[in-house]
Each structure stands twice: as structure tokens, then as C-alpha cells.
Amino acid sequence: MNAVITGAASGIGAAVAEALVARGDRVLACDINADALHALADRWPDELLPHRLDVRDSAGWEAALDAAEQRFGRVDVVMNIAGFLEPDFVVAASDDAIDRHFDINVKGVVLGTRAAARRMVARRAGHIINVGSLASLAPVPGLSLYAASKFAVRGFTLSAAAELAPQGVGVTLVLPDAVETPMLELQVGRDEAAMTFSGRTLTVAQVRDEILRALTTRQVEVTIPPSRGRLAKVATLWPAAGIRLMPLFRALGRRGQRKARL
């Protein structure tokens, strides 16, 4: 199998890329951090091709897919894993934070999905995996921009799945809870991000394994863990009730943050 993965320089993207090449697949590993990509590629010189990509750049996407096809012959799977998060309350959100949340998290996924789908539809084969978040399902005070961007990712991805299924292209949305990555580390000391720590955080390996499983099952939507996914869906069905419960979850989250600092 030949895959293109964004956000591959660290965290979930790097873990998935390494797992794929370890089992014999070939990967075009994409990220804006070229140095980290080359360090990863040094471990897998034959199976992993590093490629600097800004996911906000439409032409850059075409160049990345061209590079993968030239090296591997075809692209079977595209995984949109790259993401951005900056905690902030609504009144304090900067213009830059607004732009980066929507440009990276939403526009990047849309451009990647479109570029991959055009080529996959022509072959009537392929699989696109987009990584959202449980914040795609329920409001998260303190992370309003992130939640809004991930809500958009969910709406787009599920719509794309319905469009592309009859054309032979599978689309999967993966929605993990908070994951032990650099994105989580930057939230530990931020009161705005207390909600992130209201449950048990996931390991990168847990999310990696669910993404690899999705390659086989081709489920349309995967929540990790399922129990928190169900809770998030209930919260968004009755938003007024969910808002009343937010102080409880923020209190739980602050306790989780204190433990994370230890």
C-alpha cells in the first residue's frame, strides 16, 4: 500500500507513518517541518519519502501527490492528520489564531481531500482518512476556535464520504479525545484548556492503532474512545444541558491539569 500522510513530523502522523513502513508499506511523509521529516526518513530511506508541504497550499498538494505517484506508482491512501490548536477565550482570540485554525484544520483537510479524491475517483479506488477530534462533536469552552474548525472537518468529511462512496472511494473520519502529543503539552499550563483534561488522555499508540484498523474496516466515523464519543454526541444533542454541566467538567479538567504538571 502507498500512503500520503500530513503532520508526519511528530505525534500521531509520525507514529502512523512508522507503523506503515514497518509493515512494508510505502509513505510520502508530509509536514511543514522539513528537518524533522528528514530525521524520520533517515530511519526508513527506502520506504519513506520526506516531502515538505504546507497543507494550506493547493498547488503544494498537487506537487505532493505527483511526487508520491512518481515514486510509488499510485496513491492508495491519503491521511489528513496535520492540525493546529491555540487555547484562548473568545474575547482574547487573535486574528492570527482565527486564520491558522481555519486555514490549517479546515482548508488543509478540504484541499487534501479534494486533491486525493480527483485522482482516486478516476481509478474508482482509494481511501481518505481525516483526523478530527471529539471537539468535532461537542462545544469546548476555551477552545472555541479549535472546536469550530473540527466541527467543520466533521461536516465536510461526512458529506465527502456520502459523495465519494458511489465512486469507489472510501472516506473515514477519526475523532480522538485528547492525545499525549506536543499539542497536549502546550495546553497543560493554560486555564482556557482545562476541558481538555476532563477525561483520560489517549496515547499516540492507541490512536495509531485505531487509524490502522480503519484502513481495514473503512468505517465512516470512528470515535476514540467510543464511550467519550457517545457522551460528546449527547452533549451536542442538548446544548443547554451541556452548558450547565460545563463547570463540573472544567473542575475535573483543572484537577487533570494539576496532575499533568507533576
Catalytic residue list contains 115: no
Around 31, how many Cα atoms within 13 Å sit in the side-chain half-sphere?
A: 26
- Distance separating alpha carbons of residues 99 and 118, to the nearest angstrom: 26
β-pairing, 170-176 vs 221-224, is parallel
Which of 157, 150, 148, 135 lies closest to 220, judged by CA? Answer: 157
User: Phi and psi dihedrals of 168, rounded to 5?
Assistant: 85, 10
- Distance separating alpha carbons of residues 140 and 118, to the nearest angstrom: 34
- Distance separating alpha carbons of residues 200 and 183, to the nearest angstrom: 16
In contact, 171 and 146? CB cutoff 8 Å: no
Residue 195 Cα to chain centre, angstroms: 19
- Distance separating alpha carbons of residues 60 and 40, to the nearest angstrom: 21
Q: Which of 44, 146, 151, 197 is catalytic?
A: 146
Residue 260 Cα to chain centre, angstroms: 23
Instruction: Concatenate the DSSP letters of all residues of 109-175 into one string.
Output: HHHHHHHHHHHHHHHT--EEEEE--GGGTS--TTBHHHHHHHHHHHHHHHHHHHHHGGGT-EEEEEE
Which of 213, 60, 157 lies closest to 28, judged by CA? Answer: 60
Which residues belong to the active site?
146
